[in-house]
Each structure stands twice: as structure tokens, then as C-alpha cells.
């Protein structure tokens, strides 16, 4: 049996090699270059020639896949037949004794020989008709001539006949293959099944998006459950939360200088001739997109995509040879409708995505204002407490200053008396009167100075944190210090009033419209990078103070410290981006808690101020990603060929409706 198998395989290989040599001797074409030219003609060509090239190219691609599947099955089938060949030998004698015929051996030989020897016929058919198809679609430059149309039709028919030719050969030579595992039809079945269900594509996509949305709803819960683990990993002395120190100021200066140099280069480029031309081209491009020709171009682009999908489906099904032309056209039409439905559903999802991002941005703006109000109220409480704590010391210093001023006045008057005594006769009545008056004033001034010193000692004792005494020693009067405290309190009260006024009717239509328009195309990659860097510096300072102590203003910053702080800020940025994609609605406090830099009781005012700044920066970054998401949704919709004005109008209307509901809820509160 193994001699028969070896002989059959060797014969097959020899025939295939002979066909290859024969084809190479009569053809100078490079198949890869030919297919590449065919692709480019389908891509950039026009008219019937380009359409025919496109269909032929898709047909070649799918036929290649079909042959791949068929020949993998052929390999498995041949291997199986070789494995069972010893059984055929064993059963030969028994089978021969029964009726004088060896049916098992006959069936095995026919199956094995036919499976092996079908390959040369595949080669002959493929070389003959595919080369003709290549030649037909490659010749000529006219887009609409009758010859071009005829050549395109012939090329498509040649592609289709590859499978038809296989059927003819099987019928003539009696090559039967009941299970069709070695035929092209084995691979073609999958494509036909897909083509018949093309109109369900959009429905499947919608269902998938719905499942993704349901999945996203659970992300927040799992995200927050893992937050303590992340905090333990990222925080503390052994985690990423290490110190920041002296190099921080140097890094900040370096980054500032780098940003300034970059800004100067950008400004110089914009002022140059090339920059002006590029900016002008961008402006013209934006104007064209919003013009009637631009909108028509977008619609044509979308129609072209649907047409291409229809042609690809027609080519994939018709090239198999198992589908007639009308059925293949029907499948192509179904794919076109499915593609349009997919585009429509994608456009609707883009609108929903833009609306969601705009509404979430509005809520974050409201949250930011409320957060600022909370910080302002906290700062006011802190300022009032500071004044209350400092007031006893201030009062004592004010009393001391009063005694001091009185003493100074008496000392000046006594000094004036002494000067007048210099021109008088010693012992005279006037001299004696001036001397007595000067002595009394000096004694009174001395007592006042003692009281002044006593008041200052009491003030120092009452000044627990030494802030008032430090200001007094710098030359400020107690009255001015008290005035500064009160001015700071008044400023904070004004800030609170302004923020409260801002929150009143925050969701009104006029205010919301202004913010909506301001957010459009307002955020780029550089804005997100810049905010990430700002957050990184705040995290560095917070971690440094927590590791080195809140009273420490600087410290040594190692290379590992830099890496750790950068990882924290990047992790926070990625978390914000994930939150914006999944619309899980995580708050700034939850995001800060994930990296272990949230508020902790008993921290100093300076530390609280740093954490407050970080909280606002996180909200700003959240808004940045929401704005970017809305802009991307608009760009994606534009790429589908829809009218941009309609998209903007729909998004704006839905946004204002949602804001109106938020306004109702806010007023109800």
C-alpha cells in the first residue's frame, strides 16, 4: 500500500512541477506584482475597469482562502487514508473471499488517487483562467469604452469559471468527492452563509454595544473594590508613594523653560510663510467641510463605502461558482443595505456618545463649582478660626502698641523740655519747671514701657503658632495684621457669594449654551498632557510632605522617586480615561482614593490646599476627556458622511433637553 501511496504522490508532484515550469516558460508575469497592480487599479482607478479590477481582486482573495481551507482538508484526508491503509491490507483477503471483489481496496484507491490527483487540474484551471482575468483587467486606459466593459465582464466570468472548471474535470474523469472536503465549495460555504445574513450585521453590532454598556455598568463596582489594594500597592513608604524633594523645583523650572521654548517655536512657525499657508489650508478645509460641496462629498463617501461592500459581497459569492449571478447580486444588495443600516446605527451611537459626553461635562462643571464652593467655605472657616486664634495675641499687641505710642509721645515731650533747658540759667524758675516736667514725663514713659513689655510677653504667650509675632517682628503693626485677617475673610466671603450666584440657575439654557459652545474643539492632546504633568507635580509635593513631614519644604528626590510619581499620575490619567470611555461616573475623590492621596483628617492647611488643587485638577482632566470624547464622536460621524450641521443640531437639542431636566431637579432641591 505504501508503494501505491508514494507512487501516486510522486506522480502528482511531477505533474505539478511540469505545469509550473511550463507556465514559467510562456509567461514573464510576476504574480505578486500583477496582483499589486490589480489592487492599485481597483483603489485609484475609475469607471468599469476599476470596478472589474475590484471584483476580480476580491474574488482572488476569497478563492485563495477557499483553496487554503480545501487543501488543509485535503492534507488531513490524505493523512487519514494513509493511517487506515494497513487495515485495508488486512481486510483484502477476507473481502476477496466473499464475492471475489476487493471493495474496500477499490474504494480506498479511488478516494486516495482522486484526492491526490485533483491538484494538477486545479493548477491548470487556475493558471489558465486567472492569468486571462489579470490580462483583461490590466489592459486599456479608457473608463467607459465598450471594450473595457466587455473585458471586465470576461474577467469576472473567468474568476467564476475556476470552480466550474473543477466540476467539469470531476465529471469527465470520474473524480467523485461525496463530502466535498477537497473542493473549493468547502471554503465557499462559509462566505455564502455570511453573505446571506448581511442585513443582520447592524442588529448584531447594536446588540454587542448594548452588552458592552451593561458590562461597563459593573466596572465601577469592581474598580472601587480593587482600589484599597491599589492604594496599598501605590501608597506608603514601601510603595510608589515616596518622597519628592529638591529636584522638584529644578524639574519645574526645566519644564517651564521647555514649554516656553516650544511656544516660541510654535509662534515662529505660525508667523512663517509655510505656517501661514498650512493654517490657511486648514481654515479652507474647515470651510469646505461646512459648505454644500463638502457635505455632498461626505454623502458620496458614505455611498462609496456601501457600494464597495456590495461589490465585495458579490465578488465573494459569485467567484465560488456555486452561486448564480442574480443571487450574488442579491447578496451584494443585502450587504449594501446592511452597511447603510450599520452606518445609521453607528451615527446614532455617535450622537448618543456626543450627548453623553456633553451632559457629563456639564455635570462635572457643576461639580467643580460646588467643589470650589466647598473649598472656599472651608478656607473661610479656616481664616475665621485663624483670626479667632490670633485675636487675643493681636489685642495684646495692640495694647502694647498703645502703651508704646503713649510712652514715645512722653519721651519726645521730655526731650523737647531738655532742649529748652540748654539755653536757660540753671536754677532759674523756668529751668526748674522744665526740669520737673521732663522728669515726670520720663517716669511716666518708663512705666508705660514696662506695661508695653508686659503686654508683648503676654501676646507672645497667647500666640500659639507664632504667626502674629513673626509678622510683628517683620515690622507690621497689630492693627494692620488684624486688617489683613479681616480683608482675607471678606475676600473669601465674596468668593463664596460669587460661587453661590454662579450655582444659582447653573443649568439655565443661556448659561448651558455658552458652556456647550466653549467646550467644542477646545481640548487637544497637549491639553491632556499638560494637565497630566500638573497633576504629577501636585502628587510629588503631596507625597514628599507626607514622607518627610508636613513642615518640610524640600527633600532629596531619587530617580526611583521620579519613576514612582510618574507612574501614579499616569495610572490616574488612565483611570480617568477608562472612566470616560465606560461612562461609569467616578468622582474625583474616588479617583484620588485609588492612588492614596485623598484628604486625611488632621492635615495642615498647606497640605489641604495641595489636595484641594489636585481635586480640581482631576475634575479638569475629567472634563478634558469628556470634551475630547464629544469631539471624536463628531469626527466619527463626519467620517460616515452625515451632515455635520444635523449632527450638531441633534446633539445640542438633546443636550439642552437633558440640561433642562437637570435644572428642574436642581431647583427642586
2-11, 50-59, 422-431, 599-608, range with the lowest pLDDT: 50-59
Cβ-in-10-Å burial (0-12, 13-18, 19+) of 493 comes to middle
What distance in Å separates the CA atoms of residue 12 and residue 1, rounded to the nearest whole number?
Answer: 17
Here the cell at position 556 is 532629596
- What confidence score (pLDDT) does residue 341 get? 53
Q: What is the pTM of this model?
A: 0.53
Each residue's pLDDT tens digit, 294-307 = 444 444 444 555 56
Q: Looking at residues 394-413, what average pLDDT do you find?
A: 91
Nearest to 411 by CA among 387, 385, 442, 373: 442
Nearest to 223 by CA among 585, 570, 543, 566: 585
Q: Looking at residues 419-424, what average pLDDT do you find?
A: 83
- What confidence score (pLDDT) does residue 251 get? 41
More confident residue, 110 or 139: 110
- Whether residue 114 is predicted with pLDDT greater than 80 in this model: the reply is yes
The cell 487540474 sits on which residue? Answer: 121
Terminal alpha carbon distance of the chain:
91
For the beta carbon of residue 148, count every other beta carbon within 10 angstroms: 21
Each residue's pLDDT tens digit, 490-549 = 999 999 999 999 998 899 999 999 999 999 999 998 999 999 999 998 988 888 887 776
For residue 102, the SS3 value is coil
Nearest to 585 by CA among 576, 595, 597, 593: 576
Average pLDDT, the chain: 75
- What confidence score (pLDDT) does residue 527 get? 93
Distances (CA, A) of 580 to 357, 364, 507, 662: 8, 12, 22, 20
For the beta carbon of residue 39, count every other beta carbon within 10 angstroms: 15
Nearest to 481 by CA among 468, 470, 493: 468
Distances (CA, A) of 288 to 205, 285, 292, 295, 572: 32, 5, 8, 8, 39
Q: Which long-range contacts (CB under 8 A, 24 or more apart) does 487-490 make?
A: 488/383, 489/380, 489/383, 489/384, 489/387
- What confidence score (pLDDT) does residue 244 get? 35
Amino acid at each position: 500500500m505504501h508503494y501505491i501511496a508514494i507512487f501516486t504522490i510522486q506522480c502528482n508532484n511531477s505533474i505539478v512541477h511540469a505545469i509550473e515550469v511550463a507556465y514559467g516558460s510562456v509567461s514573464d508575469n510576476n504574480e505578486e506584482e500583477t496582483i499589486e497592480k490589480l489592487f492599485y487599479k481597483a483603489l485609484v482607478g475609475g469607471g468599469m475597469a476599476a470596478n472589474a479590477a475590484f471584483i476580480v481582486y476580491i474574488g482572488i482573495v476569497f478563492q485563495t482562502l477557499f483553496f487554503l481551507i480545501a487543501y488543509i482538508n485535503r492534507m488531513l484526508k490524505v493523512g487519514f487514508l494513509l493511517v487506515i491503509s494497513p487495515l485495508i491490507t488486512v481486510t483484502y483477503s477476507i473481502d476477496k473471499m466473499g464475492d471475489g471483489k476487493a471493495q474496500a481496496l477499490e474504494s480506498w484507491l479511488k478516494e486516495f488517487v482522486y484526492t491526490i490527483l485533483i491538484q494538477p487540474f486545479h493548477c491548470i484551471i487556475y493558471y489558465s483562467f486567472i492569468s486571462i482575468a489579470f490580462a483583461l483587467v490590466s489592459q486599456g486606459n479608457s473608463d467607459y469604452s465598450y471594450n473595457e466593459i466587455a473585458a471586465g465582464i470576461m474577467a469576472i466570468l473567468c474568476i467564476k469559471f475556476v470552480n466550474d472548471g473543477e466540476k467539469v474535470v470531476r465529471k469527465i474523469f470520474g473524480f467523485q468527492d461525496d463530502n466535498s472536503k477537497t473542493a473549493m465549495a468547502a471554503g465557499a460555504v462559509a462566505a455564502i452563509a455570511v453573505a446571506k445574513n448581511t442585513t443582520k450585521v447592524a442588529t448584531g453590532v447594536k446588540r454587542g454595544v448594548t452588552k458592552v454598556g451593561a458590562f461597563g455598568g459593573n466596572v465601577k463596582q469592581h474598580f472601587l473594590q480593587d482600589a484599597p489594594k491599589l492604594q496599598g500597592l501605590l501608597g506608603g513608604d514601601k510603595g510608589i508613594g515616596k518622597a519628592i524633594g529638591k529636584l522638584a523645583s529644578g524639574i519645574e523650572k526645566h519644564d517651564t523653560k521647555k514649554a516656553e521654548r516650544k511656544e516660541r517655536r510654535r509662534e515662529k512657525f505660525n508667523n512663517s510663510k509655510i505656517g501661514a499657508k498650512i493654517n490657511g489650508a486648514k481654515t479652507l478645509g474647515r470651510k469646505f467641510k461646512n459648505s454644500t460641496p463638502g457635505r455632498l462629498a461626505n454623502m458620496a463617501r458614505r455611498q462609496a463605502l456601501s457600494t464597495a461592500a456590495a461589490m465585495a459581497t458579490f465578488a465573494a459569492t459569485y467567484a465560488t461558482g456555486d452561486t448564480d449571478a442574480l443571487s450574488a447580486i442579491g447578496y451584494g444588495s443585502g450587504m449594501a443595505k446592511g452597511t447603510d443600516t450599520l452606518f445609521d446605527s453607528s451615527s446614532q451611537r455617535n450622537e448618543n456618545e456626543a450627548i453623553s459626553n456633553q451632559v457629563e461635562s456639564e455635570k462635572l462643571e457643576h461639580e467643580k463649582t460646588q467643589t470650589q464652593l466647598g473649598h472656599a467655605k472651608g478656607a473661610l472657616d479656616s481664616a475665621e478660626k485663624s483670626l479667632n486664634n490670633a485675636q487675643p495675641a493681636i489685642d495684646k499687641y495692640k495694647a502694647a502698641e498703645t502703651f508704646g505710642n503713649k510712652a514715645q509721645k512722653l519721651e519726645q515731650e521730655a526731650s523737647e523740655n531738655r532742649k529748652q533747658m540748654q539755653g536757660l540759667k540753671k536754677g532759674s524758675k523756668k529751668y526748674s519747671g522744665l526740669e520737673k516736667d521732663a522728669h515726670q514725663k520720663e517716669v511716666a514713659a518708663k512705666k508705660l514701657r514696662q506695661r508695653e513689655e508686659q503686654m508683648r510677653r503676654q501676646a507672645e504667650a497667647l500666640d500659639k503658632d507664632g504667626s502674629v509675632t513673626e509678622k510683628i517682628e517683620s515690622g507690621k503693626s497689630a492693627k494692620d495684621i488684624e486688617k489683613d485677617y479681616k480683608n482675607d475673610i471678606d475676600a473669601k466671603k465674596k468668593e463664596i457669594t460669587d460661587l453661590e450666584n454662579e450655582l444659582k440657575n447653573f443649568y439655565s439654557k443661556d448659561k448651558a449654551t455658552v458652556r456647550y459652545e466653549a467646550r467644542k474643539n477646545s481640548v487637544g492632546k497637549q491639553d491632556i498632557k499638560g494637565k497630566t504633568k500638573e497633576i504629577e507635580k501636585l502628587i510629588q509635593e503631596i507625597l514628599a510632605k507626607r514622607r518627610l513631614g508636613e513642615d518640610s519644604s524640600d527633600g532629596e528626590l531619587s530617580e526611583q522617586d521620579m519613576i514612582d510619581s510618574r507612574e501614579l499620575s499616569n495610572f490616574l490619567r488612565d483611570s480617568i480615561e477608562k472612566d470616560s470611555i465606560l461612562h461609569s461616573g467616578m468622582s474625583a475623590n474616588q479617583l484620588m482614593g485609588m492612588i492614596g492621596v485623598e484628604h486625611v483628617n488632621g492635615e495642615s492647611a498647606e497640605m489641604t490646599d495641595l489636595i484641594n488643587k489636585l481635586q480640581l485638577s482631576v475634575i479638569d482632566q475629567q472634563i478634558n476627556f469628556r470634551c475630547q470624547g464629544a469631539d471624536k464622536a463628531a469626527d466619527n460621524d463626519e467620517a460616515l458622511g452625515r451632515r455635520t450641521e444635523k449632527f450638531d443640531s441633534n446633539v445640542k437639542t438633546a443636550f439642552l433637553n437633558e440640561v433642562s431636566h437637570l435644572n428642574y431637579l436642581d431647583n427642586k432641591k
